Amino acid sequence: MKLEGLTTEARNEATKNIDQRSTIEMVTLINQEDQKVAEAIQKVLPKIAEAIDAASERFKKGGRLIYCGAGTSGRLGALDAIELTPTYSVPPERAFGLLAGGEKAMYQAIEGAEDSKELAIEDLKKHQLTAQDVVIAIAASGRTPYAISAIEYGQEVGALTISVTCNDVSPMNQIAEIGIAPIVGPEVITGSTRMKAGSAQKMVLNMFSTGIMIKIGNIYQNLMVNVQPTNEKLVQRAANIIKEAAEIDEEQAKEYLQAAHLEVAPAIVMAKAAVDYQQAKQLLAEHEGRISEVLT
């Protein structure tokens, strides 16, 4: 597929003279284009929901979330994976990003890496991809060889394959088991897919991973109940979560947090169900970590 045939590579008629506009006119144009991103995502919500349901089932059974991509897209995938550890206590080996060009590509462009289909296979083999896993391939164009190869090898192994692109007729969107393709239209600056396409990919990945976390019980009501209290700020946040969820005062919340060995979910169950730490852990295990089911 040639670049000139892609929506993400087309010229934006509304911004052809952006270089001649005042600064406030410039940022107004960018803002007007950015508003199209959420509208584009709204149209693919059924696909995002389908991806969440399918991926959460595999994740519950021990599967991993493996994000694959190059450049901006790859970095966004890695970011989504990395943030699941402090926010939801997901072990880093269960959600991680693979970038064309390796870890160095997180900080600088590695020319040619995204064009290698072999590199994606090597990276996935290195991490011993299995049929339990989920491969999330990300590329604005939907034609990046590294990302395409990740999908193809994932299907060969039997893993769930999901693509996140911004061109609906792209190879990735057509070959992935679940293709998510919000069409955001031409970029403000022609071909600069770190802009609207990047924003769309970030929003889709936010929904995707958050949806999975809700499904597996890492969220109670709208509270992060598996946050890792690894510093003073997060200990305070953990106490506030317990306070809100259990409807108790701050001092009691801190006492429950300490009694639960700094684990928020058991602390909430202890406070609301009047049980000790071991009983709370047992109840959570019996209900797949979902506090709402424990307390029903």
DSSP string, 186-202: S-SSTT-TTTHHHHHHH
Mean pLDDT of the chain: 93
- Above 70 in pLDDT, residue 5? no
Q: Which residue is catalytic, options 33, 114, 152, 263? A: 114
CA 57 to chain centre: 16
Catalytic residue flag (residue 263):
no
pLDDT grade for 61, boundaries at 50, 70 and 90: very high
pLDDT grade for 163, boundaries at 50, 70 and 90: very high
Query: Considering the entire predicted model, what is its pTM?
Result: 0.91
Closest CA to 129 of 151, 101, 103, 159: 159
Q: Are residues 92 and 17 in the same domain?
A: yes
pLDDT grade for 108, boundaries at 50, 70 and 90: confident
In three-state secondary structure terms, 183 is: coil
Angle between helices 232-246 and 250-259 (to 10 degrees): 110
Angle between helices 145-157 and 117-126 (to 10 degrees): 50
pLDDT tens for residues 210-259? 999 999 999 999 999 998 888 889 899 999 999 999 999 999 999 999 99
24 occurs within a structural domain:
yes
Q: How many structural domains comprise the chain?
A: 2
Q: Are residues 147 and 287 in the same domain?
A: no
Q: Which residue is catalytic, options 9, 50, 57, 83? A: 83
- What are the φ and ψ backbone dihedral angles of 200, each rounded to 5 degrees? -65, -45
**Residue 283 belongs to domain spanning:** 219-294
243 occurs within a structural domain:
yes
Catalytic residue flag (residue 251):
no
Q: Are residues 124 and 201 in the same domain?
A: yes
